[in-house]
């Protein structure tokens, strides 16, 4: 048996027969990444929030939610390796799984972390070439949009302030040291709540008014904000521009990053029209 040692993004080392034949993925964006890298039968289980690809959502065994895993289902799958994330999964459940299975954890705060995760998972599942090609594509796509987005930023002349909402009841926003905050910066926003100590603080209408965001960004996930919610926010904050944004491009840090630069650039142009 050929056993290899892998180090995850939390500094944990796991011994694994490479490549694994039974993988359980506990994070939607990393599940989509496994599909992009060319895995199929090797992925034995995913969460109920792993909606991409559609084929896997319909056919793969679902092992609960990212925060509330069905441990019995995972045990029944007898995985060779489990792939999770520090932020998205429950620490106690991950520690329990580590007692019985190799668990590879990502810890992502910015684009460099995301690219490191892609490389690490590529090595883990025996898809190094595919992972390297994806990393190169993501880097090229971000570079290609940099010039155009820089021109838009120059015309705007400043960084508009914004609050990015991930939940409705209670009102919860993305704060500092989050991947969402990093993407907000890349879209030229200044996050009005990045100085709060919590990474995902619950805020009151009074705090939002006091922060004076020029834009309120309502994300399509994890809470499914939609056009019907714009009116209630407009009633509370009539002087603020309310926008629905695709949460997958702000918070999914796998293969979807290849399309993120184009989306952010399009959003940046919309911001310019609102300000102009």
Q: Cβ contacts of residue 27 below 8 Å, gap of 6+?
A: 47, 50, 66, 83, 84, 85, 88, 89, 106
**Residue 160 pLDDT more than 70?**
yes
CATH of domain 157-275: 3.40.50.1980
Q: How confident is the model at residue 1 (pLDDT cuts 50, 70, 90)?
A: low
Q: Hey, where are the domains in the chain?
A: 3-126, 157-275
Tell me phi and psi for residue 204, to 5 degrees. Answer: -100, 160
- Can you give the pLDDT at residue 92? 98
Mean pLDDT of the chain: 96
Average pLDDT over residues 45-60: 97
Written as six digits, the tokens of 76 are 């029944």
- What percentage of residues in the chain have a pLDDT greater than 70? 99
Average pLDDT over residues 45-57: 97
**Rounded Cα–Cα distance for residues 212 and 78 (Å):** 51
- Can you give the pLDDT at residue 198? 96
Average pLDDT over residues 98-127: 98
Q: What is the pLDDT of residues 227-244, one digit of tens each?
A: 999 999 999 999 999 999
Adjacent-strand bridge partners of 54: none
**Residue 196 pLDDT more than 90?**
yes
Written as six digits, the tokens of 269 are 């142009």
Identical fold between 3-126 and 157-275:
yes
Written as six digits, the tokens of 204 are 């009151």
CATH of domain 3-126: 3.40.50.1980
């Amino acid at each position: 048996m050929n056993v290899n040692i892998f180090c995850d993004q939390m500094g944990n080392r796991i011994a694994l027969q490479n490549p694994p034949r039974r993988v359980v993925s506990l994070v939607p964006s990393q599940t989509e990444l496994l599909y992009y890298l060319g895995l199929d039968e090797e992925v034995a289980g995913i969460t109920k929030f792993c909606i991409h690809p559609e084929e896997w959502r319909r056919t793969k065994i679902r092992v609960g939610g990212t925060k509330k895993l069905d441990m019995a289902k995972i045990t029944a799958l007898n995985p060779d390796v489990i792939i999770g994330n520090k932020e998205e999964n429950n620490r106690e459940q991950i520690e329990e799984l580590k007692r019985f299975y190799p668990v590879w954890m990502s810890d992502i705060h910015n684009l460099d972390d995301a690219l490191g995760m892609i490389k690490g998972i590529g090595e883990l599942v025996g898809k190094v070439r595919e992972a390297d090609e994806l990393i190169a594509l993501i880097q090229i796509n971000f570079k290609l949009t940099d010039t155009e987005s820089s021109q838009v930023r120059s015309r705007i002349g400043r960084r508009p302030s914004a609050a990015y909402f991930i939940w409705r009841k209670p009102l919860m926003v993305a704060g500092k040291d989050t991947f969402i905050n990093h993407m907000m910066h890349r879209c030229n926003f200044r996050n009005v709540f990045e100085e709060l100590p919590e990474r995902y603080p619950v805020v009151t209408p009074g705090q939002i008014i006091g922060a004076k965001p020029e834009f309120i960004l309502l994300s399509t996930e994890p809470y499914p904000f939609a056009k019907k919610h714009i009116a209630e926010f407009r009633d509370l904050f009539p002087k603020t521009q309310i926008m629905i944004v695709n949460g997958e491009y702000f918070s999914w840090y796998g293969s979807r990053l290849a399309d993120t630069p184009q989306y952010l650039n399009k959003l940046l142009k919309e911001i310019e029209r609102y300000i102009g």
